[in-house]
Amino acid sequence: MGRPAFLVLGSTGGVGRHVVAGLAAAGERVRAFTRDPGRARFGGSVEVFAGDLKDSGAVLEALQDVEAVFMATSPDALEHELTVADAVRERGIGRVVKLSSVAANPPVAGSDSYGRAHAASEEAFAKSGAELTALRPAGFATNVLQWRRSIASQGKVFQPYGDVARAIIDPADVAACAVACLTSGGHGGRSYQLTGPEALTAPELTARLGKALGRRLEFVAVEPAQAREGMTRAGMPPDLVDGLLASMAEPGPLRGGVPQPDAERLLGRPPATFETWLARHLDEFRDQTGQTA
Ligand SMILES: NC(=O)c1ccc[n+]([C@@H]2O[C@H](COP(=O)([O-])OP(=O)(O)OC[C@H]3O[C@@H](n4cnc5c(N)ncnc54)[C@H](OP(=O)(O)O)[C@@H]3O)[C@@H](O)[C@H]2O)c1
- Give the whole-angstrom CA distance, residue 62 versus residue 90: 13
pLDDT (tens digit per residue) in 124-170 = 999 999 999 999 999 999 999 999 999 999 999 999 999 999 999 99
With cut-offs at 50, 70 and 90, classify the pLDDT of residue 218: very high
Residue closest to 44 by CA, chosen among 20, 18, 11, 79: 20
Query: Which of ligand 1's atoms lies nearest the C-alpha of 40?
Result: 40
Residue 26 belongs to a domain: yes
Residue 34 beta carbon below 6 angstroms from any ligand 1 atom? yes
**Residue 211 located in a structural domain:** no
Quick one: residue 290, left, alpha or beta (phi over 0 = left, psi -120 to 50 = alpha)? left
65: left (phi over 0), alpha (psi -120 to 50) or beta: left
Alpha helices in 234-273 (DSSP H): 238-249, 262-267
In a domain, 180, yes or no: yes
Phi first, then psi: give them for residue 164, nearest 5 degrees: -95, 120
The residue among 49 and 239 whose pLDDT is bigger is: 49
Q: Which pLDDT does position 280 carry in this prediction? A: 96
Atom number, ligand 1, closest to the C-alpha of residue 102: 6
In a domain, 71, yes or no: yes
Alpha helices in 112-219 (DSSP H): 113-126, 148-154, 171-183, 202-213
Residue 159 covered by a domain = no
In the predicted model, what is the mean pLDDT of residues 172-197?
97
pLDDT at residue number 292: 44
pLDDT category at 63 given cuts 50, 70, 90 is very high
Give yes or no for residue 192 having a pLDDT over 90: yes
Question: One-letter amino acid identity for 38?
Answer: G
* Mean pLDDT, residues 74-81: 94
Instruction: Please report, for residues 118, 125, 138, 208, the alpha-carbon distance to residue 189 in angstroms, rounded to integers and kept in the order given.
Output: 16, 10, 20, 38
pLDDT at 93: 98
Q: Is 146 touching ligand 1 by the criterion CB < 6 Å?
A: no
Tell me if 181 sits within 8 A of 97, measured CB to CB: yes
Is 89 part of any domain?
Answer: yes
Helix (H) or strand (E) holding 136: strand 131-137
Give me the pLDDT at residue 110, please: 81
Domain membership flag for residue 288: no
Q: How many residues does the structure list for the chain?
A: 293
Cα(78) to ligand 1 centroid in Å equals 11
Residues 221 and 202: their CA atoms lie apart, in Å, by 9
Q: Is the pLDDT of residue 293 over 50?
A: no
In the prediction, which pLDDT does 12 show? 97
Please give the tally of structural domains in the chain. Answer: 1
Q: List the CATH number of the domain containing 78.
A: 3.40.50.720
pLDDT at position 2: 77
The pLDDT tens digits for 202-217 are: 999 999 999 999 999 9
The pick from 7, 46, 59, 74 for probing ligand 1's pocket by mutation, whose C-beta has the most ligand atoms within 8 angstroms, reads: 74
Residue 281 resides in a domain: no
- pLDDT tens figures, 246-266: 888 887 888 999 999 999 999
Domain limits for position 133: 5-138+170-196+258-272
